[in-house]
A and B are shown apart, each in its own frame.
Chain A
Amino acid sequence: MNVEMLSRLQFAFTAAFHYLYPPLSIGLGIVLVMMEGMWLRTRHPLFHNMARFWTRIFGLIFGLGVATGIVLEFEFGTNWATYSRFVGDIFGSALAAEGIFAFFLESGFLAILLFGWDKVGPKLHFFATCMVALGAHFSAVWIIVANSWQQTPAGSHLEIGGQAVPLGHAFVSADLGRARMVIDDFWGVVFNPSSMDRLSHTLVAAWSAGAFLVISVAAFYLLRRRHVAFAASSLKFGLVLALAASLLSLVTGHRSAGGVARNQPSKLAAMEGIWQTEAAAPLHPFGWVDTAHGRTAGPKIPAGLSLLVAGRRDHVVTGLDDIAPDLRPPVQATFQCFHLMVAIGFALIALSLWGGWLWWRGKLADTECFLTRWFLRFAVPSVLLPQLGNQAGWFTAEIGRQPWIVWGYLRTSDGLSAVVKAHQVLTSLIGFGLIYLLLLVLFLFLLNRKIQHGPETLEESHELPDNWLKQQRA
């Protein structure tokens, strides 16, 4: 394998592995805020025990996120040096802002969240929890702004050898070392055409990841009739967030797709396997792309795509046949990842509504009820769905962006480090493969042990710090 393929693989692998954890911390962060907030309102010890248990899980997840996150910041420079020189004027600022506004906030208050129970009062602790959740959301803001700018560059222009060049200038490889993107307008970069749609979609999808972790563990306890009060209450917190997140995913996803249709027509054509440019373009609920013959097999909803992206039947969608072959993304991969994500999105909505209905009927924790038992059986493995959906969504976004690393300006294959050799990347890729395998096994092992151990029961310990108890009695 050549250095380009290896570098692509390494970045995809390290980014995908890292992305198992941040959505969980973002989503679980919200759950912790809800639980601690409820405790402050009601002072019921159950809520405190719930916050304690989920904080321990949060700590484990966060640790893995930190350990695997620093890799990505290094990799822009180590593997994609030409890209780094090209985008530094814009991308670097977002990354630096992420450090200052998000990571410091998260890590500083995380110390209080995890270790500060005995050191601070309940209100300050709640504040720290809110700040950790806020920091987790901020970290998503800046990295998605940067990534969205790569998808839909704005607020900037191309400069070759210090001279501004007009849009659409033929970019030749000889210009590579002398070309860079230059910032015109910071807010233009931040609010580029895709950033807000993609940010909202990513955040609500992350809420799903946290919500379904809670739902899954709670369902497991209920089916085993362990920690029943704890589980029934946790399940409700999870469901509230899951309902909001899964329905908002639909709304934000719809907006994102509309943006793709406007800004990245080749990506849209690949996502839906559209070959002929036509009005009333069809929608495939699922299918298989026949790249060799330029066809997509599968059931079609007539005019479905035109209606969804533009709201009218006669909207013309550009097909892959009208896009030069070297400017098309890998169609099959984009199509399948996108459809997997959408299918998972609907499954999550269905599961959330099912749970919401059981709650409304007062049968949510009634394991004697046939419908509840089946809901819980589905809910236990449901934790995997948002994870799979998040990965599939990012693979759609990034594979669909190919061949560009910065849309319309720089090709991924031109962004490599000139001095890094294939054997070096192979060495580091094997290293990451082994280390991450070990980390994943240990993470799952420790997570499982924590879940099996369960929360402290109210009878044996209410876990309230002594100084909080004194304050409560006073």
Chain B
Amino acid sequence: MDYNLLWFVLVGVLFAGYAMLDGFDLGVGALILRVKDDDERRVLYNAIGPVWDGNEVWLVTGGGALFAAFPPVYATVFSGFYLAFMLLLFALIFRAVAIEFRSKEPWLWWRRWWDRGFFAGSTTAALLIGVAMGNIVWGIPLDARGEFAGTFFSLLHPYALLMGVTTVVLFMMHGAIYLHMKTEGPLQARVREWINPLIIAFIVCYSLTTLATLLYVPRMTQILREQPALFAVVVLLVLAIANLPREIHRGRDGAAFLSSCATMLLLMALFGLGMFPHMVYSVPDPAHSLTAYNASSTEKTLKIMTLIAAIGAPIVLAYTTTVYYIFRGKVKIGKDSY
């Protein structure tokens, strides 16, 4: 395994980690207006309260790793998707301060407004992340220097929008499954009612996306034709999705949540397999594409970063696990809560 491949995988792992973790935060945000009672909304906020901020760090670190390992990719995508990423920033800012500010005052109007901000910020962020992914799968126009040659509106084509909606639904499903694990009593019963419709909605969206990918972006499945053994990933993905209603039905919340995480990880794996070695695929002229080999940092930098990751990752995983362990179980509202 060469270092370029390793970092292609690691950047993917960081973004998959972001999707699995902040995915449920954004999903909870998209669901917040579905409960009306203030005490119940507080339970939802506190379900993600101690962890959302650490979850967002996965995005920051993923962005940093992309910058370090593949500077031209980072530069092209971030400058090419300028307005979309600015909107994403505004959405993430609103999400963050809504959580932070809401609980500081007891006034109803104050809380209602921050709830709307939390909903809008979370939903917009999920949508934009999906649209960006959709564009990367579809391919974007690059010129000979590897610079983006399209416009903001050329990013909003039907395939990208479909991927955006799919991502929102996926995060909502993931968020609902997470909430089922963190809530109890009548609120949990209500959350329970959301889960099956969300699973169905996700299956519908994902089937449509897959169909569109097979029809219009056949290169994404090239690798599966060449290496049939990799079809195992698809099988595992379908099993992980099918397992969701089963675990929920049996009342095994933790297993359902892990299954939902596995779904996201496998989706990301399929995405990576389909893309490799491309990181930004150029249409109509594929010769201008940025790959893990023509757009990487020097091998020396990749080696240094591998060392940093080898030292840092076990420590990060150790205390992330510790924090999740300390805050395990159902949400209890106390005086330090949001």
Contact = CB atoms under 8 A, between A and B. Distances in A.
Contact of A64 (B49, B97, B323): B97
B222 interface: no
B335 to A, nearest CB: 9
Interface in B84-112: 85-86, 88-90, 92-94, 96-97, 99-101, 104-105
A96 B67 contact: yes
Given A424-B83, A442-B101, A112 B304 contact: no
Nearest to B97: A67
A145 interface: no
B199 to A, nearest CB: 30
A216 to B, nearest CB: 20
Task: Kindly name the residue among A63, A67, A84, A184 whose own CB sees the greatest number of chain B CB atoms within 10 A.
Answer: A67
A418 B67 contact: no
A372 to B, nearest CB: 33
B318 to A, nearest CB: 10
Contact of B79 (A77, A182, A431): A77
Given A63-B100, A77-B78, A88 B297 contact: yes
Contact of A96 (B54, B68, B100): B68
B203 interface: no
A11 to B, nearest CB: 13
A428 interface: yes
A91 to B, nearest CB: 7
Contact of B327 (A85, A88, A115, A450): A115
A64 B101 CA distance: 10
A131 to B, nearest CB: 8
Contacts of B301: 89-90, 92-93, 183
B89 A84 contact: no
A186 interface: yes
Contacts of B207: none
B304 to A, nearest CB: 5
A287 interface: no
B216 interface: no
A419 interface: yes
Nearest to B318: A108
A431 B104 contact: no
Interface string B126-145: 00000000000000000001
A408 B56 CA distance: 36
A69 B101 CA distance: 17
Interface in B125-178: 145, 147-149, 152
Contact of B298 (A117, A183, A419, A442): A183
Contacts of A424: 82-83, 152
Interface stretch (A98-106, A195-203, A288-296, A346-354): A98-106
Majority secondary structure of chain B interface residues (helix, strand, loop or mixed): helix
A84 B67 contact: yes
A100 B8 CA distance: 17
Contact of A115 (B71, B312, B316, B336): B336
Contacts of A87: 71
Task: Kindly name the residue among A66, A96, A418 whose own CB sees the greatest number of chain B CB atoms within 10 A.
Answer: A96
Contact of A114 (B50, B69, B97): B50
Contacts, number: 222
The bracket for how many chain B residues form the interface is 35 or more
Contacts of B78: 74, 76-78, 81, 84
A95 B67 contact: yes
A184 B78 CA distance: 27
B32 interface: no
Contacts of A59: 100
Contacts of B90: 431, 435
B305 interface: yes
A405 interface: no
A183 B319 contact: no
B75 A81 contact: yes
Contact of A77 (B77, B327, B334): B77
A13 to B, nearest CB: 14
A118 B335 CA distance: 10
A100 B305 CA distance: 11
Contacts of A431: 86, 90
A117 B332 CA distance: 13
B194 to A, nearest CB: 26
Contacts of B75: 77, 81-82, 84-85, 88, 417
A446 B106 CA distance: 12
A111 B89 contact: no
Nearest to B72: A85
Given A89-B71, A115-B50, A116-B50, 16 more contacts: A63-B99, A67-B97, A76-B78, A88-B68, A89-B301, A92-B297, A93-B68, A96-B305, A107-B57, A108-B323, A112-B50, A115-B337, A118-B336, A419-B147, A427-B83, A428-B82
9 contacts: A68-B93, A69-B60, A70-B60, A88-B75, A88-B297, A104-B320, A116-B326, A119-B326, A419-B148
Interface of A: 59-60, 63-64, 66-71, 73-74, 76-79, 81-82, 84-85, 87-93, 95-101, 103-105, 107-112, 114-120, 177, 180, 182-184, 186, 417-420, 424, 427-428, 431, 435, 439, 442, 446, 449-450
